[in-house]
Amino acid sequence: MIVAERKPFEKINGSVKGYKKVLILGCGTCVTVCMAGGKKEVEILASTLRLANQEAGVAMDIQEATIERQCDREFFDEVKEKIEWADVVLSMACGVGVQLCGELFCGKIVLPALDTKFYGVTEKQGVWSERCTGCGDCVLEFFGGVCPIARCSKSLLNGPCGGSQKGKCEVDPKNMDCGWQLIYDRMKSLGLLDRLEKNQPAKNWSSARDGGVRKTVREDVVL
């Protein structure tokens, strides 16, 4: 899932300063799971913003809404009237949702309330960690299902660096596992250590960013 964090309240409050009608729009999928932009978080932000405006003597009408996904245009139909009502939309979605909302309502100012972080997993309640960078050229098959691009701090494809000590990364020796230690342990458990003897070629980063916006088209499902 896409993991995001809410921006500091001071930044959010400053971004909507001067607007009279504000819609705080949440997203019901990824950012709900990571407790950053779901219905509950929308309610908390709205309450905090109302209280701050009340203390500052500022008149601001704040409405709230949460849709299933802000990355699919059909879900915006249910909040079209609210968006058109607002002077500004404060989106509590990832960067994709913020941009799509702005594209669909081109005459409306759409501001981000979250910082998009990475593609990750839930380790335990309140803890998420990165697993994928969306590089577009997946190499998991060569590394036992452990991604060296996302899990190694230097994205090394052919073994650990000299900063790896006792299975930990020099970036954070106490808390961060060395990505290559994870790869080694996984390949050993699978009986595939010999495969690590083969050097991997340099990453083809053009599949991740070749100077243009990436797009995937499935001709078999296009209407």
Q: Which pair of structure tokens corresponds to residue 153?
A: 């701090």
Which of the four CATH numbers 3.40.50.2300, 3.30.70.1140, 3.20.20.140, 3.40.50.10190 does domain 2-117 have?
Answer: 3.40.50.2300
pLDDT at 218: 84
> Measured at the alpha carbon of residue 127, what is the angle toward residues 157 and 132, in degrees to the nearest 5?
25
**Cα gap 174→187, rounded to integer Å:** 24
pLDDT at 222: 83
Mean pLDDT by runs of 10 across the 223 residues of the chain is 96 97 98 97 98 96 98 97 98 97 96 96 92 91 95 95 94 95 97 95 77 78 82
Q: DSSP string of the chain? A: -EEEEEPPHHHHHHHTTT-SEEEEEEESSHHHHTTSSSHHHHHHHHHHHHHHHHHHT---EEEEEEES-SSSGGGGGGGHHHHHH-SEEEEES-HHHHHHHHHHTTTSEEEE-EEEEEEEEEEETTEEEEEE---SS--GGGTTT--HHHHSTT--SSS--TT-BTTB-TTSTTT-B-HHHHHHHHHHHTT-GGGGGSPPPPP-GGGT-SSS------TTT--
pLDDT at 219: 87
Spans of all domains in the chain? 2-117, 134-205
Report field, pTM of the whole predicted structure over 0.85: yes
pLDDT at 211: 65
